[in-house]
């Protein structure tokens, strides 16, 4: 199947309130010049939505291994920690 066919076959249902809140927050970040914060929030939004909509697939793939969920959550925490560090040490 061609790449366009694969992408058109995927159906992702994101609630409209999540899309509206995401667009609002990202727009405010860009308007206020907080590019790093906007990028971090984008990563976290994708990370969260990826887990919410793929939780059954992830749990089926890992076959109930709690270590895998801990690793997934740890990666999210690493993103947050790196964002905080980048906010504290941003060049002026």
pLDDT value of position 24: 93
Q: φ, ψ for residue 4 (rounded to 5)?
A: -65, -40
Tell me the pLDDT tens digit for each residue of 68-83.
778 878 888 888 888 7
- In this prediction, residue 69 carries a pLDDT of 76
Q: Are 13 and 28 in contact (CB under 8 A)?
A: no
1-55 pLDDT, tens digit per residue, is 566 666 566 566 778 888 898 899 999 988 988 887 888 888 888 888 877 777 7
Distances in Å between the alpha carbon of 29 and those of 17, 26, 73?
18, 5, 25
How many degrees, rounded to 5, is the angle at CA 51 between CA 67 and CA 43? 105
Q: For the chain, what is the total number of helices (H) and then of strands (E)?
A: 4, 0
What pLDDT score does 2 carry?
Answer: 65
The domain spans of the chain are 3-88
The yes-or-no verdict on residue 90 having pLDDT over 70 is: no
Q: Residue 2, class by beta-carbon neighbours within 10 Å (0-12 exposed, 13-18 middle, 19+ buried)?
A: exposed
**Using an 8 Å Cβ cutoff, are 41 and 26 in contact?**
yes
Full-model pTM = 0.61
């Amino acid at each position: 199947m061609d790449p366009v066919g694969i992408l058109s076959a995927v159906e992702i249902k994101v609630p409209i309130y999540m899309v509206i809140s995401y667009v609002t927050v990202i727009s405010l970040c860009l308007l206020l010049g907080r590019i790093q914060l906007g990028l971090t929030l984008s990563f976290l939004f994708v990370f969260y939505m990826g887990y919410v909509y793929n939780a059954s697939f992830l749990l089926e793939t890992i076959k109930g291994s709690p270590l895998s969920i801990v690793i997934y959550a740890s990666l999210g925490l690493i993103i947050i920690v790196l964002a905080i560090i980048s906010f504290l040490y941003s060049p002026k």
